[in-house]
Amino acid sequence: MKWHVLDAVFKRNFVAYFSNPTGYVFICVFVLLGSLAAFWPPEFFNANLANLDQLNRYLPSILLVFIPAITMSVWADERRQGTDELLLTIPASDWEVVFGKYLAAVGIFTVALMFSCVCNLCILLSWGSPDGGLFLANYLGYWFVGLAMLAVGMVASFLTSNLTVGFILGLLFNAPLALADRAGTVMGPAAAGRVRACSIAEHFADFGRGVVSLSSIVYFLGVAAVCLYLAMVLIGRRHWTGRRDGGVMGLHYVARTLGLAAAAAGAVMVFRAVDVRADLSEERISTISADTRSLLRKLDVKRPIDIKAYVSPIVPEDYAQTRLNLLNTLRQFERLGRGRVSVEVIPTEPKTEESALASQQYGIEPVTVPSRVRGAYREEEIFLGCAVTSGLEKVVVPFFDKGTPVEYELVRSVCTAAEQKRKRLGVLTTDAELFGGFDMMSGQQRPRQAIVEELEKQYDVVQVDASAPITETFDVLLAVQPSSLGPEQMTNFVAAVKAGQPVAIFEDPLPVLMTGVPGTSQPRRSPMGPMAMFGPQGGQPKGDIGSLWDVLGARLAAGTARPAPGQMGRAPFVVYQDYNPHLKLELPAEFVFIDATLSGGAPGFNQQQAVTAGLQEVLFPFPGSVSRDDGVDVTWTPLVRTDPKRSGTIDVDR
């Protein structure tokens, strides 16, 4: 390849475009259309996100008009002016002429894209704080889309000497690729899915999420390579059309072109299977954690896992990021599942056929959330739910609320559905009443605690009453506020712990956020409610929580005062810490914040344990403190620590 020839052809076409005022007009129109598509739709303001999501939707349609304006004169103008023969007589190969003109078209498109980039970036910076990596990935994707469409448009230009016809042919040739993602409007779902897989929008989707994927790049370069080869065949047909074997040569080049197209399609399929991806977004919103990747790759299911997501097309701005994270994560799961995980995203609105099916089959209902539109507050019903099925097993996440860890919820649901037999989790019946109950004091029914609903998504949850000896075996027994157990119940519970039953114990010296639940040293409430004034004073007796601490080898930080009536053991201390990373929250020191570094102090979480590794921040309201009993031979692994320089303990009664 002669680089000086490429340089000469490139400069000739590049300079010629900018020597004509019409070229500047087309660039200005392109920039204007791009800005209008990005910022004019109401969805941009509803989403309240400083990104180019709206432009990503309309970009193929915009390029469908702009690309032919660049390519229509690539060869048609040469033929119109009669300079094509002169160009073909220079000492250059057909490939060098075609590639030089292609580079000129790419250069023109790149200049237009740079103007659009600067304009849109300035607008985003004036309204918010855009994600730089996501913005860069979007424009890199636009550039690759342009590479493919420019090559297609050049083929149209080689077929005519009329600029207008060249423009129309360029538009028609690019239309199937640009509009294939809308195939569902004219054909069935199965056929539409296959057509959509070949569309520009489908392969640009990764760039739209801030991910640069090798498979998408191979797709765009493959389209460009096939079309450039076809353009070279068209410009070189003068060599063989007049020969006696011209028809045979024509079939020969058709076979070559089809073979190259098949090779390009095969390369795309190969790189889809072994894709290399780089997430450029600042918060890596499209990057799945290593643990999730490992779990998905190790899935061993006889039947594939199906995920149906019922998602509202438009949600209030407070839920826009959650919706985006959900859709991004679903796409990643489908890719990593490699045929074992199929994902179907169903746009769902209230009072439609889709919403009726979601309710009947999976119990997914619309959730009413507040929204603000042009300063006015109103309520909207939206869908953000998923149903994961595998065989007869079904796991449903009815709604992904704000702040919900989407990846965790999805991978938990997938793994639970893949396990045809769930682990058994026992929940000890205590005064915390996680399963709900009737409150005698208020005369109202207590709802089930949210943690029970979360656990039921993953485990076979069983309520355990310690009034009788605990003979069943559970994978783990959850005990919340066991200090509220009666003497007989405490004895049975401690016996189960001694017998080797795995337990998870949560004890709160002062449960200020759970009304009616007694603290460790507080007497139990009376079961008679308002009628207690007519009966004997005091609640039911409590068991000796000290016997449980002795078995566990733990010491509870407590005072030395004598126990009050109705309580067992000394009153425990409450921990305080002079550290609040959120100054706007004026909270007392007994609201203990723990983060990974305690703002430069000692590490708050044990990073060596999977339970706490990766945690960023946890708030403990009025927590207690435990230490190791050196007289008991147990393995002691602290998970959370306060900063000893800024923390201490106070009496619970204070």
527-571 confidence digits (pLDDT tens): 655 554 444 445 678 888 888 988 998 888 886 655 555 455 667
More confident residue, 431 or 438: 431
Give residue 33's pLDDT: 92
Task: Report which residue type is found at 498.
Answer: K
Give residue 534's pLDDT: 47
In this structure, what are the phi and psi dihedrals at residue 554, rounded to the nearest 5 degrees?
A: -125, 150
d(CA 434, CA 451): 8
371: pLDDT strictly greater than 60:
yes
**Residues 222, 268 contacting (CB under 8 angstroms):** yes
The β-bridge partners of 376 are: 373
d(CA 208, CA 140): 10
How much of the chain, in percent, has pLDDT values that exceed 90? 23
521: pLDDT strictly greater than 90:
no
Q: pLDDT category, 413, cuts 50, 70, 90?
A: confident
Give residue 653's pLDDT: 66
d(CA 559, CA 509): 12
Give residue 612's pLDDT: 86
**Mean pLDDT score, 273-298:** 76
- Average pLDDT score, the chain: 83
286: pLDDT strictly greater than 90:
no
The β-bridge partners of 343 are: 307
Q: How many CB atoms lie within 10 A of CB 357?
A: 15
The β-bridge partners of 626 are: 556
**Residues 338, 328 contacting (CB under 8 angstroms):** no
Give residue 288's pLDDT: 76
CA atoms within 13 A on the CB side of 639: 8
422: pLDDT strictly greater than 60:
yes
Residue ranges per structural domain of the chain? 3-279, 290-418, 423-557, 572-654
Q: pLDDT category, 151, cuts 50, 70, 90?
A: very high
Give residue 602's pLDDT: 63
Q: pLDDT category, 57, cuts 50, 70, 90?
A: confident
pLDDT one-digit tens code per residue, 77-94: 777 776 666 666 666 677
Give residue 465's pLDDT: 93
Structure tokens at 527: 């079961």
d(CA 577, CA 586): 14
The β-bridge partners of 445 are: 438
* Pairing of the two strands 367-373 and 376-382: antiparallel
Q: pLDDT category, 478, cuts 50, 70, 90?
A: very high
How distant, in Å, are the alpha carbons of 101, 138, 170, 274, 633 from that of 152? 13, 21, 7, 27, 75
The β-bridge partners of 65 are: none
299: pLDDT strictly greater than 60:
yes
489: pLDDT strictly greater than 90:
yes
DSSP states of 418-439 = H-SSPPEEEEE--TT-TT-EEE
How distant, in Å, are the alpha carbons of 69, 70, 88, 89, 161 from that of 83? 20, 19, 9, 10, 11
Give residue 538's pLDDT: 52
Task: Report which residue type is found at 337.
Answer: G
**Mean pLDDT score, 37-54:** 79
Give residue 180's pLDDT: 83
More confident residue, 465 or 235: 465
Q: Interhelix angle for 290-297 vs 406-418, to 10°?
A: 20
d(CA 414, CA 387): 10
In words, the CATH class of domain 290-418 is alpha beta
The β-bridge partners of 650 are: 574
Give residue 493's pLDDT: 94
Mean pLDDT is lowest, of 70-84, 175-189, 505-519, 559-573, for 559-573
pLDDT one-digit tens code per residue, 563-601: 555 455 667 889 999 988 887 778 898 999 988 776 556
**Mean pLDDT score, 455-468:** 89
d(CA 289, CA 297): 12
216: pLDDT strictly greater than 70:
yes
d(CA 338, CA 300): 12
DSSP states of 527-568 = TTGGGGGGS-SS------HHHHHHHHTEEE-B--SPPPTT--
Structure tokens at 96: 């060098």
